[in-house]
Structure 1
């Protein structure tokens, strides 16, 4: 048989290799993922430091532009309270050369946010209210001691409404009052003229020089101030996850996806003094491209780590399983009946020990098989013997017949010449001979009663197992002399056991000496158990019969004493005085003669009732009307209570219904006599058919006694429970009607099926 992939070598390789491969794969995966995580953390940290440094430099550059505005903001004459419009205009013109880098224009706002002066680029804004600008409100809230520049988000304050950002410097009086502010604007546009402006070239050149795939600067609302991709300048990127995180946290980094669904690593930092954020992005696939070679190396190492152990394990598994295969093949040969297989193994390990034990087992199987058929035949014979003995002893409950059949069959099976069977009387410890086979009558007289202690069965009953006894070892006695005269040489005593106790013994004898094997002794012990159980059952059956006979005798004696004897005694008393009474008073004598006649008829009825009880089949055979008449006459003779009968003599009911009606009538009459204190009883039996041709039988027993309340009496009192059970057993209906002082009526109605036997 070839196992293929299900073979033991494959399983061994799988058991060792699969867990190893899983563990190594997990280690490689964790290592690679750790490498990627470390790479991500390092890139984020590096770019974060760069963006923070760049943000600081950008803040310093912006401060220089704020410094240019601070001189203009500090000139008090530019504010309305200090100068006229011509003066302010002159001051603006004088400062144009210095402030020309503000390509979006320069404006001066008074303390209320009104544009009071502007250069030529924003001249149209003069007089406008810019108090709603966020950077104007921020300027008003700056410290009075040290004004700080303010920076705006992208707005439409440039020339002709162009997008721009503003840098403003607040101005305060000596007393710290807010006078207004001066603001320079830079245009924000993707156009080349803007991107080539001094502001873009000077301020954002460092951003262009910074590494990374993308670098951009967004204001506090997420709009792009600068982007390495110029066409995106001015775009609103507030929906990007990176921008959202940057505007919330201000500084940090993360790994995410951009709007093109590319995986990126982003770092960001806030420009000090502003709400602006510098963001750098690098594509993740570019970052980890150097790790591709490392990943391939890991895969190669993993493959070698799996392959080399697999080869080693495979070679070892083949060396280990080769003897096992030889064992399997040898076992298959043994299973096919070819015993004596020998497997040479010299591995000096458990396999060699297994092969050695297999060789021993094979040799023993070869030896055992030689005698197996004989043992099977012997065992089959033993089982057949036990089955035969069981069949023999189960045919009867008569002790003599059981022992004789068992002894005869056992002598035949054991091929003995003679045998005897005894019953043990435990009270006297005496063995009583029940039957014998192949022995003379002299033996029967000699061994009729043997003390247990003086017989060969003494030892066997004590140990509960058969024993072999030579006749020469018997104690000197007449029994030994008789056995020797019979020519017997040996005997086997078999105890008959029941529930661990001896109930008798079988003795088997042979005229020639023979060896009795252990198997034969075991068989005889089983026969002793089987026969002992049958003897015990026969004994219990005898006891049950004796008990039943005794109980029946006592019942008959009690019934004769209570009924017939009392009636006959009364009749005898009347017969003694009747002659003398007739001479003195013939009329009274005639009455007593009639009473004597009633007593004798009642005694006859009582005797017939007892005969019916002795032969229960008579209840089913006799007509119900005759049975009820005998019952009533016996009742009248015993109690002197008149019973009026109205009987349908042709009422032929099924036997079970007839018996139930009879027993109910019997119980009702007895209850009337015991409890009712009645003067008259009426018993009626009617049989009819209803309109559906179904037979109907009705039995009524009425008395004029004291009655009772049926609701106050349980169904088990006064025999009512027994009567109700008898009625339900034959599907009849029992009704009881009574009331205190109004007598009692018991009615039983039975309705049969169509075509039921019911003669009328």
Structure 2
């Protein structure tokens, strides 16, 4: 990864203010990999070390994830494979006490480095503990003048917050996995309810047409017309499902382009008109962009499959201070419904998952609908 400058500490910040700044930096992220990277960079900057690394162990004597800071991409590639759980690292993964050394090379457990590895001297390492379990090891090396008791106290505070940030990130990713599993189940249900039923009707209609060809050609032609209609509807349903299954290219294309592309495909796949507009939208944090996209997909799914709408509009606009946030609006002219009746009947139409997605990225979601008036879903996220 690119090397970042490690200042020796901002004189304008006291120790507790510096820790607070580091904790806030960690808390802004939800993806585990990014949280690990931010913990490592924050620790290095906080203590003014030249190098920092954080390892999350696996169950096979290695590391499931290993993040470094202060090492360039070229250096990291030259170092080679990830380290194993041995030497000083192994000690840190089995001992709750911190490890502080004047020269790590003289430690009894020191086992050497690959030839491209930078030379480390003074060393401070501390396990990351969550609910009594060591979930990682954070260490820093090469601080001018060596590490002090004060450095150890600061790192202990930072590591406690790092455990919380890492735990929250893992819960978020687990929640996202469960949501994806739920979406797969919903898509499978849609395939069964919509496409499978249409294909079954198509087969019966085709058999009826074949039986009528000789004795009633006119009725046979009518049945064949119905076959063509059912086949077209089944193809539309399949195209819509493919759109939902297709991985969104958020990282490559961004939210606006990705959402515009999906709306365009849905407009072609369905008889209803589906349109998209965007105005003043800035790039959002990755987790927020993913949440906005998924809420838009869920709202579009409801409008196109359940509302009987003739027109669906999707609008995305900048919002909040300096336009850093975004507001999504999905509106249809369908039959609408009574939200309270739907809630009492236990039919959520994806509303729970949409609200959870919005809340999970610090946003809010609202829904307006009534029988005969269509439905409007709005979501707003704060941005960076």
The interval holding the TM-score normalised by the smaller chain is 0.5 to 0.7
Q: Which runs of 5+ in 1 are unaligned?
A: 1-376, 631-653, 669-714, 724-728, 733-747, 751-760
Supply the distance in 1 between the matched residues of 2:303 and 2:116 (Cα, whole angstroms).
Answer: 59
Per-residue CA distance 1:404-431 (angstroms, 9 max, x = gap): 2332232233222212222233x44532
Supply the distance in 1 between the matched residues of 2:76 and 2:234 (Cα, whole angstroms).
Answer: 57
Q: How much does 1:503 deviate?
A: 2.0
Which position in structure 1 is the counterpart of 2:364?
none
Which position in structure 2 is the counterpart of 1:386?
19
Q: Residues 528 and 578 from structure 1, CA distance in 2 versus in 1: closer, same or farther, beyond 3 angstroms?
A: same
Q: Residues 430 and 604 from structure 1, CA distance in 2 versus in 1: closer, same or farther, beyond 3 angstroms?
A: same
8 Å contact kept, 2:299–2:330: no
Supply the distance in 1 between the matched residues of 2:92 and 2:346 (Cα, whole angstroms).
Answer: 59
Q: How much does 1:720 deviate?
A: 9.7
The structure with more radius of gyration: 1
Q: Residues 609 and 410 from structure 1, CA distance in 2 versus in 1: closer, same or farther, beyond 3 angstroms?
A: closer
Q: Residues 749 and 580 from structure 1, CA distance in 2 versus in 1: closer, same or farther, beyond 3 angstroms?
A: closer
Supply the distance in 1 between the matched residues of 2:108 and 2:159 (Cα, whole angstroms).
Answer: 22
Q: Residues 442 and 396 from structure 1, CA distance in 2 versus in 1: closer, same or farther, beyond 3 angstroms?
A: same
Q: Residues 549 and 602 from structure 1, CA distance in 2 versus in 1: closer, same or farther, beyond 3 angstroms?
A: same
Which position in structure 2 is the counterpart of 1:449?
82
Q: Is 1:618 aligned with 2:292?
A: no
Q: Which runs of 5+ in 2 are unaligned?
A: 1-9, 245-265, 267-294, 313-328, 350-366, 374-384
Indicate the RMSD between aligned Cα atoms, in angstroms. 4.5
8 Å contact kept, 1:620–1:656: no
Which position in structure 1 is the counterpart of 2:98?
466
Supply the distance in 2 between the matched residues of 1:489 and 1:551 (Cα, whole angstroms).
Answer: 50
Supply the distance in 2 between the matched residues of 1:562 and 1:625 (Cα, whole angstroms).
Answer: 16
Q: Kindly report which structure 2 residues correspond to 1:434-583, keeping only aligned pairs within 5 A, or say none.
A: 434-439=66-71, 441=74, 443=76, 446=79, 448-452=81-85, 454-469=86-101, 470-473=104-107, 475=109, 477=111, 479=113, 482-483=116-117, 486-510=118-142, 514-572=145-203, 574-575=205-206, 578=209, 581-583=212-214
Which position in structure 1 is the counterpart of 2:4?
none
What TM-score comes out, normalization by structure 1 length? 0.31
Supply the distance in 2 between the matched residues of 1:568 and 1:436 (Cα, whole angstroms).
Answer: 55
Q: How much does 1:543 deviate?
A: 1.4
Supply the distance in 1 between the matched residues of 2:26 and 2:134 (Cα, whole angstroms).
Answer: 17
Count of aligned residue pairs for this structure pair: 275
Per-residue CA distance 1:26-47 (angstroms, 9 max, x = gap): xxxxxxxxxxxxxxxxxxxxxx
Q: Residues 664 and 578 from structure 1, CA distance in 2 versus in 1: closer, same or farther, beyond 3 angstroms?
A: farther
Q: How much does 1:475 deviate?
A: 4.5
Q: Residues 459 and 525 from structure 1, CA distance in 2 versus in 1: closer, same or farther, beyond 3 angstroms?
A: farther
Supply the distance in 2 between the matched residues of 1:487 and 1:406 (Cα, whole angstroms).
Answer: 22
1:462 counterpart SS class: coil
Which position in structure 1 is the counterpart of 2:318?
none
Which position in structure 2 is the counterpart of 1:593?
224
Structure with the bigger RCO (C-alpha within 8 Å, sep 6+) is 2
What TM-score comes out, normalization by structure 2 length? 0.56
8 Å contact kept, 1:433–1:447: no
Supply the distance in 1 between the matched residues of 2:107 and 2:197 (Cα, whole angstroms).
Answer: 69
Q: Residues 524 and 578 from structure 1, CA distance in 2 versus in 1: closer, same or farther, beyond 3 angstroms?
A: same
8 Å contact kept, 2:48–2:143: no
Q: How much does 1:387 deviate?
A: 0.5
Q: Residues 573 and 471 from structure 1, CA distance in 2 versus in 1: closer, same or farther, beyond 3 angstroms?
A: farther
Supply the distance in 2 between the matched residues of 1:614 and 1:731 (Cα, whole angstroms).
Answer: 16
Q: Is 1:423 aligned with 2:56?
A: yes
8 Å contact kept, 1:431–1:504: no
Ranges of 4+ aligned residues in structure 1 off by more than 4 Å:
440-448, 474-478, 480-483, 572-581, 604-614, 619-622, 654-659, 719-723, 729-732
8 Å contact kept, 2:62–2:84: yes
1:422 counterpart SS class: strand
Q: Residues 462 and 475 from structure 1, CA distance in 2 versus in 1: closer, same or farther, beyond 3 angstroms?
A: closer
Per-residue CA distance 1:93-125 (angstroms, 9 max, x = gap): xxxxxxxxxxxxxxxxxxxxxxxxxxxxxxxxx
